[in-house]
């Protein structure tokens, strides 16, 4: 009899446990059904962009300022190359430009007053010598018919007169050049040379600036691919940077549910890592092209179904979401459609 009562008690306890489980399953089913009516529930994973960072010039690395896992702000200095070669080139071109600017200034300012006065004095001297040579020749030319001088003396006087006339012409041309100044072609050539030097200097300054690698955006260092002493080049990245802004979940929606959502709709994300926490977000992108469900996302039963990729942006000020983390995205459907959410601030 005692055994009978014990078995009956166990049976009653088992029935109570089953009834409790049934109640839990029922309310769980009701809650799930309620959520299915109130929300569009999508499944996916966290995604983000990655950047391979490399310097703009080839040189030996002097300093690396970050390690894997370090947070980086946009514009922050991440690495430095040895700058000596590039500084020397900048200084050389600066000196070359200074010299060429002096040449251009000399050509554009024309002849100095002292040069013009000198040219006039030389012309006066040449005219005087020509006048003296002409008088000498005239006197000797009168004596030649009387044979008071030889023919060689007359020829010598004629040659001296011709030479004096040539020197006078040279002095006149020299004065004309001094008054006119440099040729326009020479000035243009000098200015073009100066412009070329300045362009080379801008390139050299850019190369010097490229010896320092700055973060193009905020993110987290995913890989440190080089060390001080290594030779870096534009073709060889030295960091991989994971961009944390914007952060989004890549999910997929079936064609029957496609009409329920639109860009800008509010959403929130849930993860297994933080089960009691919701992350605010919004629908940022809906693919215009259908695709087969990715094998890594769904079972074989639904792989043949056409779906549309959706990008749901997430607000993660604490940096808790990680690349590849599975998430559940819930988009409210009941009531007025909330729109306009486009920032975590």
My answer on whether 107 and 156 are in the same domain is: yes
In a domain, 292, yes or no: no
Q: Quick one: which of 100, 119, 116 has its CA closest to 108?
A: 100
Domain count, the chain: 2
Asked if 252 and 78 count as a contact pair (C-beta separation under 8 A), the reply is: no
Same domain, yes or no: 142 and 223: no
Q: In terms of Cα–Cα distance, which of 171, 161, 182 is closest to 108?
A: 182
Q: What is the CA radius of gyration of the chain?
A: 46
Co-location of 68 and 99 in the same domain: no
The answer on 171 and 118 residing in a single domain is: yes
pLDDT of residue 33: 44
Q: For 273-328, how does the pLDDT look when each residue is reduced to its tens digit (9 = 90+)?
A: 888 888 888 898 888 887 776 655 544 455 557 788 899 998 887 878 888 889 99
- In this structure, the answer to whether residues 94 and 185 fall within a common structural domain is yes
- Per-residue pLDDT for 34 more than 50? no
Q: Could you tell me the residue range of the domain that residue 122 belongs to?
A: 88-207
**Same domain, residue pair 137 and 175:** yes
Higher pLDDT, 88 or 339: 88
Does 283 reside within a domain? Answer: no
335 within a domain of the structure (yes/no)? no
Write the pLDDT tens digit of every residue in 247-266: 889 999 888 888 888 888 88
Looking at per-residue pLDDT, the higher value among 76 and 264 belongs to 76
Say yes or no: 137 and 235 in one domain.
no
pLDDT digits (tens, 9 = 90+) for 207-247: 999 999 999 998 889 999 999 999 999 999 999 998 877 78
Say if 27 falls within a structural domain: no
Most confident residue range from 24-28, 101-105, 107-111: 101-105
Q: What are the structure tokens assigned to 202, written together?
A: 């801008």
Instruction: Please give the residue that has the higher pLDDT: either 54 or 174.
Output: 54
Residue-wise pLDDT for 131-180, tens only, equals 887 887 777 777 767 766 677 776 777 788 788 888 888 877 776 766 56
| Same-domain pairing of 154 and 55 | no
Domain's final residue, options 191, 218, 242: 242
| One domain, residues 196 and 237 | no
Contact 276, 209 (CB under 8 A): no
For residue 203, which phi and psi values (nearest 5 degrees)? -65, -40
């Amino acid at each position: 009899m005692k055994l009978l009562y014990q078995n009956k008690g166990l049976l009653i306890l088992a029935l109570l446990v089953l009834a409790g489980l049934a109640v839990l399953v029922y309310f769980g089913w009701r809650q799930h059904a309620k959520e299915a009516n109130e929300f569009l529930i999508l499944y996916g994973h966290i995604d983000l962009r990655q950047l391979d960072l490399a310097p703009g010039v080839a040189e030996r690395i002097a300093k690396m300022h970050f390690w894997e896992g370090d947070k980086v702000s946009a514009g922050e200095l991440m690495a430095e190359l040895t700058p000596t070669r590039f500084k020397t080139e900048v200084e050389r071109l600066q000196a070359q430009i200074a010299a060429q600017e002096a040449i251009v200034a000399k050509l554009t300012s024309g002849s100095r007053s002292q040069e013009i006065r000198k040219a006039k004095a030389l012309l006066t001297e040449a005219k005087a010598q020509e006048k003296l040579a002409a008088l000498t020749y005239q006197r000797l030319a009168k004596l030649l018919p009387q044979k008071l001088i030889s023919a060689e003396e007359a020829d010598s006087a004629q040659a001296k007169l011709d030479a004096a006339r040539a020197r006078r012409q040279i002095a006149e041309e020299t004065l004309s050049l001094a008054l006119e100044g440099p040729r326009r072609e020479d000035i243009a050539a000098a200015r073009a040379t100066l412009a070329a030097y300045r362009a080379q200097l801008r390139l050299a300054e850019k190369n010097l600036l490229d010896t320092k690698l700055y973060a193009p955006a905020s993110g987290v260092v995913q890989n440190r691919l080089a060390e001080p002493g290594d030779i870096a080049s534009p073709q060889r990245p030295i960091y991989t940077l994971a961009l944390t802004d914007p952060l989004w979940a890549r999910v997929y929606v079936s064609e029957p549910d496609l009409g329920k959502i639109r860009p800008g709709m509010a959403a929130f994300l849930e993860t297994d890592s933080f089960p009691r926490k919701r992350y605010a977000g919004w629908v940022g992108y809906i693919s215009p092209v259908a695709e087969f469900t990715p094998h890594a996302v769904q079972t074989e039963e639904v792989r043949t179904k056409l779906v549309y990729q959706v990008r749901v942006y997430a607000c993660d000020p604490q940096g808790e979401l990680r690349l590849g983390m599975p998430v559940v995205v819930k988009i409210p459907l009941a009531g007025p459609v909330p729109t306009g959410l486009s920032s975590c601030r």
